[in-house]
Every structure is written in structure tokens, then in C-alpha cells.
Structure 1
Amino acid sequence: MSDVQDYNSSLSDAAQSRKFETFSYLPPLSKDAIRAQIQYIVDNGWNPVIEHTEPENARSNYWYMWKLPMFGETDVDAILAEVEACHKAHPNNHVRLLGLDNFAQSAGTAMVIYRGQSV
């Protein structure tokens, strides 16, 4: 198993070594890749939800909700605008996007779009 990559994680370098959500083990998503993931949420009929938290609290189960879930929203640009507004209002916080599945009553996907900087 020597070809399996080890993801170093440490409390002394929590900002850089911690991994969060679906895509955090990959390089940062490009704008086009983020747009494609939002389109995937819309295509599946999931409800977009934007959340944020301080980097030091990111391991907690509680993240702050940015406004209400965007029930029934199908405009990718509107969802992107809200993600950007959340990031602009909280530039030092992690910002994540969830796609809530009404039928399974769970999150269909979750991804951290912006990683905040530890202070």
C-alpha cells in the first residue's frame, strides 16, 4: 500500500492540514468547477444551503447558516451570488455549500468553497 497518499494532519497546523467535506482532498475548485457543482445540485432538485464558520470552529457540528435555504432555486448565478455575498461578509470564515435532498432528508452533497485563514 505504499502508493496510498497519507494526508498529514496536526493540531499545530490545523488551517492547512485539516480536510473538510467532499472535495477538500482535491486541489481548490476553479470557478467553472464550482459552477458545474452548483448546476449538479440544481439538476438533482436539491435545495442549496450556504453556511460559514470560523476556521477554529470548523470541526464543530454547528456552522452558521447564511440566510435561509434557497428552496426551489434553479438559477446558478443567483446561488453563486449568495455564496460570494457570504464570503464578502465573512472573508476570514470557511464558506460551504450544501445540496439538501428533500426525499432522502439528508445532504446530497457538501463542499467547502472558501477556506478561511486562521488568526
Structure 2
Amino acid sequence: MSVQDYKSRLSDPASRKMGTFSYLPPMTEDEIRRQVEWIVKNGWNPAIEHTEPEFASGTYWYMWKLPMFGETDVDAILAELKACHEANPDNHVRLIGYDNFTQSQGANMVVYRGAAV
């Protein structure tokens, strides 16, 4: 058995990967919903960020509104993800689940990918 090499290169924005989920096929709406449900079930605070694809490897992403502290309505979170994507159609949009206990990101996934430059 051999390990697959993913040809990610800084010179090729379309090839760049952003976390574990980016190596898988794009998530369906149902799969995204289940990830949001999992974040809510764990009591994590959802937050939405976005950035231009050419800056996605940087540490700074733009925050979409404030983190949704205490939000448990999955549909409200999905609606905000969609609103961010519609307002920034060329940007990557990611969902973060902040874990209050460990004071770190418990989840981080790109939900919408912008067009690569």
C-alpha cells in the first residue's frame, strides 16, 4: 500500500488544502448540517469567517459578524453560513466551533470554497 501525495503548491491556489475535510469530496448540505449539529451537541460556540482564496493559508480571516455564543438553532447557523457566502461569493467561508472548556477550536472546516485565482 502506498500513501497518496497531494500536489498542494503555493504557486497553485486551486491545489491548496485547508484541513482534513478539504481532502475529501465536498460535503453535501446534509453532511454540513450534521457537522453543525455535532458542534451544537458538544456545546461549542459557532463562528463564521471568510477570506479570499489567495490569502487562505494566512492566519487572518475576516470574521462574519460576532461568534454565535450559545446558539443552538442549527438552521440559524446554516442561514448565517449561507448569508456570508452570498455576501462574499468569491471567498472561502469556514465554520469554527469554539470549545469553551479547552479554550480552543474544537472544529474548523471550510464550508464554501471561493474560486481560485
- Shorter-chain TM-score bucket reads over 0.9
TM-score by length of 2: 0.96
Counterpart for residue 115 of structure 1: 113
Alpha-carbon shift at residue 71 of structure 1 (Å): 0.4
Counterpart for residue 10 of structure 2: 11
Answer whether contact 1:97 1:111 (CA < 8 A) is retained: yes
> Mapping of 1:17-56 within 5 angstroms?
17-56=15-54
Structure 1 gap ranges (5+): none
Q: Deviations over 1:10-58 (max 9, x none)?
A: 233222x100023111000000000000000000000000000000111
Runs of 4+ deviating beyond 6 Å: none
Q: Distance in 2 between matches of 1:69 and 1:36?
A: 19
Secondary structure, counterpart of 2:12 in structure 1: helix
Secondary structure, counterpart of 1:95 in structure 2: strand
Secondary structure, counterpart of 1:51 in structure 2: strand
> Mapping of 1:78-93 within 5 angstroms?
78-93=76-91
Aligned residues: 117
The AA in structure 2 aligned to 1:54 is E
Answer whether contact 1:39 1:76 (CA < 8 A) is retained: yes
Q: Distance in 2 between matches of 1:35 and 1:118?
A: 25
Q: Distance in 1 between matches of 2:103 and 2:10?
A: 34
